[in-house]
Amino acid sequence: MAEDEVPKTEPGLFDLDAVVVGQPKRSRWRRYLGPALAVSTPEGATLASLTCTDDTHYVLTHTSGEVIVRIEHSGPAEFRFTDAAHREVGNAGAPGLFKSLQLGLRTDQGRHLFLTRPGLPFTQWHLTETAPEGVPTQGILGRVTVSTIDSWIGLQQYVVDMDPRLEAGDRRTVVAAVICLHLLRRPPGDSAAPA
């Protein structure tokens, strides 16, 4: 390889326009000990996994074990995101009675994003940018579509489609927010139907 050539690598997690956040498949008959959620390509290649350190702290790591983002659940629907060095890189919060209908996000660059779905029967959330006062400022920047991949156990997956206008930091916040949506809809250990 010539000195000026750069080795080709696979795209990183936040270079992709689409990822899948979902509960890994498991046996119905054995106790499951794996990660709470996995982040993969639409083709199924695992990129990262989420583990719970306790009821309020979660860590998303690359398959190599490198920390991508830590998620701290504080209050009924407030989340704080920090990086491997424990610097805050964003947050999310859900106002209102139905916590899984809307989620306000703030990225590490101060960008305000908003995930919302029209009502409980809908399976898709839209991602928009908002002005500081909460008014949408432009078109849809992404979509999050939920589906059940195992109706017996009730395993869920979220397909996250993101607009090329989103930068890596924005995408990190969106992926973390989708994890938060799952935690609001399906708290760890909760066998009730999702909201």
Q: Is residue 172 situated within a structural domain?
A: yes
Mean pLDDT by 10 residues, the chain (195 residues): 39 88 87 89 94 91 94 91 94 80 90 87 88 66 92 90 93 95 73 46
Q: Looking at the domain assignment, is residue 133 inside a domain?
A: yes
DSSP code string of 109-163: T--EEEEE-SSTT--EEEEEEB-TTS-B-SS--EEEEEEEEETTTTEEEEEEEE-
Instruction: Domain count for the chain, please give it.
Output: 1
Does 83 fall in a domain?
yes
Q: 7 in a domain, yes or no?
A: no
CA 95 to chain CA centroid, nearest Å = 18
Contact 121, 128 (CB under 8 A): no
Q: What is the reported pTM?
A: 0.86
Cross-strand partners of 185: none
Measure the CA–CA gap between 57 and 175, rounded to whole angstroms: 16
Q: So what's the pLDDT on residue 122?
A: 86
What CATH number corresponds to the domain at position 127?
A: 2.40.160.200
What pLDDT sits at residue 97?
66
pLDDT in the model for residue 11: 55
Q: Domain span at residue 71?
A: 34-185
**Residue 134: per-residue pLDDT:** 58
Nearest to 37 by CA among 155, 174, 184: 155
b/e burial code for range 43-82 (CB count within 10 A of at least 16 → b)? eeeebbbbebeeeeebbbbeeeeeebbbbebeeebebbbb
With respect to residue 70, please indicate whether it lies within any of the assigned structural domains. yes
Domain-embedded: residue 194: no
Query: Does 99 reside within a domain?
Result: yes
Note the pLDDT of residue 135. 59
DSSP string, 106-121: EETT--EEEEE-SSTT
Tokens 């610097």 found at: 87
Q: Is residue 191 part of a domain?
A: no
